[in-house]
Amino acid sequence: MLKTENAAFEYEPYPVCYIPNVLDDGLYQTLTENYPAQDLFEYMPRLGHKYSLSEFNNPSNYADFIAANPEWKKFHAYIKSPDFIENTLAFLKDHHLDLGLKRRRIVSGRKGRHASLYARLRRKTELSARFEFSMMSPQGGNILPHTDAPNKLITLVISMMKPGEWNTEWGGGTEVCLPKDRTRIYNQVNEYMAFEDVETIKEFEFHPNQCVLFIKTYNSWHQVLPIKAPEGSAMRKTLTINIESKV
């Protein structure tokens, strides 16, 4: 379902891929028109100024929404499938990004964050995929600089805006950044930092039907600066897909 033929990679300071028109137009329109309502989300102030709906944040609302929406249910099943993870790993390997996961087992359907006894005994890495609906306020919505949790391996952020709903002058882009104090660059455990303590290396502006993919590394710092949009503007809506290892 993801179209990657127009993917463009950056490799420094860590691997990032920009993919325009990542979904077929018809599917993208259907998904954006049926994006969940804000009252289903959980507010997440510790991450910045954002709202989340996922397997972990308001999980009952999340499950009910997926079950009641056929197109989202189909897309959810695709993300949970072994094919999605295997295809993503192969796509990255084709662009010189081999994550070295030779002994792996796909367990997206199994709940919980911990590896099974079977995986531990067999010394296999258990991989799963999930997605999160995210919203940010057009007045001040943001995500603080961070590098993602250690068990996240790959993140894909897909914009979920209808045509004409967003003006890039308002901000909302995903920024690759690094600490101004380079002694703080190592951040495997994912501590958060203040905006004024980092510098932007590259910005991917926020456009409809785009995907920004990045690999979790010790220095995979990224952020979304506070949005400055007029009163009454649409929320910044995204779908974040994570491929993770069970711990």
Consecutive 10-residue averages of pLDDT for the chain (247 residues): 96 98 97 98 91 95 98 97 97 98 90 78 89 97 97 98 96 98 98 98 98 98 98 97 94
Q: How many helices (H) and strands (E) does the chain have?
A: 5, 14
List Cα–Cα distances, 189 to 201, 216, 239, in angstroms.
Answer: 21, 11, 24
Supply the pLDDT for residue 213.
98
Supply the pLDDT for residue 247.
81
Supply the pLDDT for residue 56.
92
Q: Identity (one letter) of the amino acid at 184? A: R
Please name the residue ranges forming H helices in the chain.
25-33, 59-68, 70-80, 82-93, 117-122
Which is nearest to 58 in space by CA: 37, 78, 86?
37
User: Does residue 247 contact residue 113 with C-beta atoms inside 8 Å?
Assistant: yes
Architecture of domain 8-245: Sandwich (2.60)
CA angle 76, 137, 17 (to 5 degrees): 50
Supply the pLDDT for residue 244.
96
Supply the pLDDT for residue 149.
95
Supply the pLDDT for residue 120.
75
Supply the pLDDT for residue 27.
97
Q: Round to whole Å and give the CA distance between 166 and 227.
A: 11
Supply the pLDDT for residue 115.
81
Supply the pLDDT for residue 161.
97
Q: What is the pLDDT of residues 26-81, one digit of tens each?
A: 999 999 999 999 999 999 998 889 999 999 999 999 999 999 999 999 999 999 99
